[in-house]
């Protein structure tokens, strides 16, 4: 069974700093990987989806990379803002259907 790990569990950075969130997975035979954002008490918002044939995806200040051979993905956030404060979750699918989730990194951007 796929296992997904996100380290660190929590991160605090000053506003304006660039930062990287990490995700690792045990089975490299993935179909795709998705990054989500979750605000307190809310559902998940999809940020980026990387297909297994892709190395990275970009959306605005966000860039997600994928290295299947090492079982790693990173989410890069440029010029962080207080509004970026949330929990970020990584989810991996081996079949394109069922996703396995990490427990997330709680990000606080300090004004």
User: What is the contact mask toward other proteins in residues 72 to 101, using x (rule: CB under 8 A)?
Assistant: -----------------x-x---xxxxx-x
* 8 A C-beta contact, residue 19 and residue 82: no
Q: How far is the CB of 39 from other proteins (least distance, A)?
A: 10
User: What is the contact mask toward other proteins in residues 6 to 45, using x (rule: CB under 8 A)?
Assistant: -------------------------xx-x-x----xxxxx
How far apart are alpha carbons 57 and 62 in whole angstroms? Answer: 8
**Closest residue by Cα to residue 39 from 90, 101, 89, 97:** 89
Gap between the terminal Cα atoms of the chain: 41
In this structure, what token pair is assigned to residue 30? Answer: 């993935």
Among 12, 18, 26, 51, binds other proteins (CB under 8 A): 51
Q: How far is the CB of 16 from other proteins (least distance, A)?
A: 29
Tell me whether residue 70 is exposed, middle or buried, using C-beta atoms within 10 angstroms of its C-beta: 0 to 12, 13 to 18, 19 or more.
Answer: exposed
* Nearest CB to other proteins, comparing residues 18 and 51: 51
The site for other proteins (CB under 8 A) is made up of 1, 4, 31-32, 34, 36, 41-46, 49, 51, 89, 91, 95-99, 101-104
């Amino acid at each position: 069974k796929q296992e997904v790990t996100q380290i660190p569990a929590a991160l605090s950075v000053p506003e304006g700093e660039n930062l990287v969130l990490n995700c690792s997975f045990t089975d490299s035979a993935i179909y795709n990987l998705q990054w989500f954002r979750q605000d307190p008490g809310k559902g998940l918002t999809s940020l980026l989806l990387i297909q297994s044939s892709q190395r990275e995806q970009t959306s605005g200040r966000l860039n997600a990379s994928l290295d299947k051979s090492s079982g790693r993905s990173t989410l890069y956030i440029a010029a962080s803002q207080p509004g970026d404060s949330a929990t970020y979750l990584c989810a991996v699918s081996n079949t394109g259907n069922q996703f396995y989730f990490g427990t997330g990194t709680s990000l606080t951007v300090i004004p």
